[in-house]
Structure 1
Amino acid sequence: MKTSNPVLSRLGQAAERERAAGYSPAGPYGPAAGQPGYGQPYPSADGGYPSAPPAVQPMTIDDVVVKTVILLGIVGVSATAAWNLIPDALLGAAWIGAAVVGLVLGLIISFSRVANPGLVVAYAVVEGAFVGLVSKTFESFYNGIVLQAVLATFGVFFLMAVLYRARVIRATPKFARGLIAVMGGLFAVMLINFVLSLFGVNTGLRDNGILGIGFSLVCIVVASLSFILSFNEVEEGVRLGLPARYAWTASFGILVSLIWLYLEVLRLISYFQGDD
């Protein structure tokens, strides 16, 4: 099995070995060591040992679609709850707290080599609260801006899905490396800008001037292109036969891009509706 993604390649090889041996995954996804299905054949009803035990269920595109819809539903419920339950006096503190917790959970999930549905769901809950609080703030200044941003976000998402399906944009190794480098650079710039803002330094990067509009447009383009990497990850995961539980990890990638795109679109629209 060959793929441009080394992590996917290793996971695919591991899944192939599990299927070849006929083992079930251990831990929360299967029997523990010393139990049938983990290094031992499954006994039959008559006490014998028949053919190999059930193989690991491979991930499908439908798995990813279902998991993505579930995560979006969780984000929506969490956002609605935060919008209605958190008082305005605590808005700023809750906003910052949710952002920090979401960042930590996102980094843990991103650098983990094992799919963890619990962490992914927790991330959706926390990010949902963050999105709800941010949306409430913007909506208080610009009536109807949230609906506009939601429609634009999903419009871009479906457009990128069509472009990827038609192979207009391909996730080549060069494209992936370049995009990941740009994303890392943007993240560093936003982090530095945030730290400077805490000390009262205004770089103009998040104002409604030419620099702010240009930076938001760059972020929107990069966030849109990141869907190509997510779609390719799903396609490669299915081709490599990754276990079904990795559909949560693939859905997490799509969710991160959707949230980032939504926030950037929300900010860009606000620039054209008055002062931030």
Structure 2
Amino acid sequence: MAAGGNPLLNNNPVFTGRARDGRAGYAPTPPQNPYGQSPYGQAGYGQNPYGQPNDLQDLYNRPSATPSQTGRMTFDDVIVKTSMTLGLVVVGAAIGWFVPGLMLIGMIGGLILGLVNSFKRETAPALILAYAALEGLFLGGLSGFLERIYPGIVVQAVIGTLSVFAVTLLLFRSGKVRATPRAMKFFMIALAGYALFSLVNLGLMVFGVTNGMFGLHSAHIPGTSIPWGVVIGLLAIGLAAFSLIVDFTSISEGVRNGVPARFAWTAAFGLTVTLVWLYVEILRLLAILRGND
């Protein structure tokens, strides 16, 4: 529209080409051009002066960014990171199997790094991988020791661990088992009680108060031939299985809420800790059962 058609622009020297005193001044009135052209060399209607698409429909038709492209955690991230940690556990176990003397180093080092990774504010992949390797040394030495006493026990423990993991995952996927707030309260109480019992049992074994291979686990329930270790072991396996439910719940909520991708390492660490604990409990329960035959 020409400037003369607008009374607000009619007296403006920028658009009229004349100064207030009537002399020519300011920028001259730009020449009128047909629609679709620009007096300044810019694109007119239907064109974009910056070379970008001006049709919003093109933007809407583009695929949405994936979680990995936006730096968010995905299930694939957790699977890859967990595979890396468990792979190091297996490698460390192979070394510990043939070098039993490294079992003590793995046990102490794994315990220290486990606590560090649990309370560390920032995720440290290197420390998580180091924890997995040390735990592997411990598991390798322990497994080799028990395998020489009870042949075939390691294969049984591995199958048992994988079976519990698979059943727990299926129950979680079906929605029949969830880490509800009420269940978490009972879990934390039972876990604290079991941790206290384990510390007491370890102290009794260190100071020679108990003579059994597994301390109080090897003692029999009064009036029966059933070791306490069977009952306690089943309880511990149940706690480890529910700990898997807690891990699965945390991972699902993290993916749904779009937490940063670095937390995939935290999820992998949690799963590794739980699976190591589950394997040790199953291995000990099998050893108690076979030693009681």
Same fold flag (TM > 0.5): yes
Separation in 2, partners of 1:182, 1:155: 23
| Equivalent residue number for residue 38 of structure 1 | none
Question: What residue in structure 2 maps to residue 140 of structure 1?
Answer: 148
Verify: 1:231 aligned to 2:261, yes or no. Answer: no
1:57·1:244 contact (CA, 8 Å) conserved in 2? Answer: yes
TM-score by length of 2: 0.70
How many Å apart are 1:113 and its aligned residue?
A: 2.2
Aligned pair in 2 of structure 1 residues 55, 155: CA closer, same or farther (>3 Å)? closer
Paired with 1:243 and 1:56, the residues of 2 have a C-alpha distance of 9
Within the candidate set 82, 88, 93, 1:68 is matched to 82
Tell me how far 1:55 sits from its aligned partner. Answer: 7.8
Aligned residue identity for 2:258: G
Identify which of 150, 169, 173 aligns with 2:177. Answer: 169
Q: Does 1:200 align with 2:208?
A: yes
Q: Which residue of 2 aligns with 1:14?
A: none
Change (3 A) 1:256 1:165: same
Q: Deviations over 1:97-137 (max 9, x none)?
A: 32121111111111122211111101000000000000001
1:186: how far off?
1.1
Q: Tell me by how many angstroms 1:193 deviates.
A: 1.1
SS at match of 1:205: helix
Where does residue 195 of structure 2 map in the other structure?
187
Shift of 1:195: 1.4
Supply the distance in 1 between the matched residues of 2:127 and 2:260 (Cα, whole angstroms).
17
By how many angstroms is 1:96 displaced?
A: 2.9
Tell me what 2:96 maps to.
82
Letter paired with 1:58: R
Normalising by structure 1, report the TM-score. 0.74
| Aligned equivalent of 1:41 | none
Deviations 1:42-88 (A, max 9, x none): xxxxxxxxxxxx9850000111111111111110011001212x15x
Residue correspondence of structure 1 range 39-188 to structure 2 within 5 A: 57-84=71-98, 86=99, 90=101, 94-188=102-196
d(CA) in 2 for partners of 1:102, 1:196: 22
Shift of 1:154: 0.6
Q: Which moved more, 1:238-247 or 1:154-163?
A: 238-247
- Residue 240 of structure 1, aligned match among 240, 245, 257: 257
Aligned residue number for residue 233 of structure 2: 216
In structure 1, what is the Cα distance between the partners aligned to 2:209 and 2:259? 47
Aligned to 1:48: none
Per-residue Cα deviation, 1:7-35 (whole angstroms, up to 9, x for no partner) = xxxxxxxxxxxxxxxxxxxxxxxxxxxxx
Provide the aligned length of Structure 1 versus Structure 2: 217
Identity %: 42
Kindly state the Cα deviation for residue 241 of structure 1 after the two structures are TM-superposed. Answer: 1.2
Q: Distance in 2 between matches of 1:143 and 1:254?
A: 28
Contact 2:244-2:271 within 8 A present in 1 as well: yes
> 1:55–1:148: structure 2 CA closer, same or farther, 3 Å change rule?
closer
Unpaired runs of 5+ residues, structure 2, are: 1-67, 221-226
**CA contact under 8 A between 1:208 and 1:275: conserved in structure 2?**
no
Deviation at 1:275, TM superposition (A): 5.1
Q: In structure 2, what residue type is equivalent to 1:256? A: V
Shift of 1:205: 2.2
Bigger CA radius of gyration: 2
* 3-state SS of paired residue (1:183): helix
Q: Following TM superposition, where does structure 1 have runs of at least 4 consecutive aligned residues deviating by more than 4 angstroms? A: none
Structure 1 residue ranges without an equivalent (≥5): 1-53
Q: Distance in 2 between matches of 1:62 and 1:142?
A: 38
Distance in 2 (CA, whole Å) between partners of 1:181 and 1:120 is 27
1:190 and 1:145 map into 2 onto residues whose CA distance is 23
Is the CA contact (8 Å cut-off) linking 1:109 and 1:116 kept in structure 2? yes
1:153 deviates by: 0.3
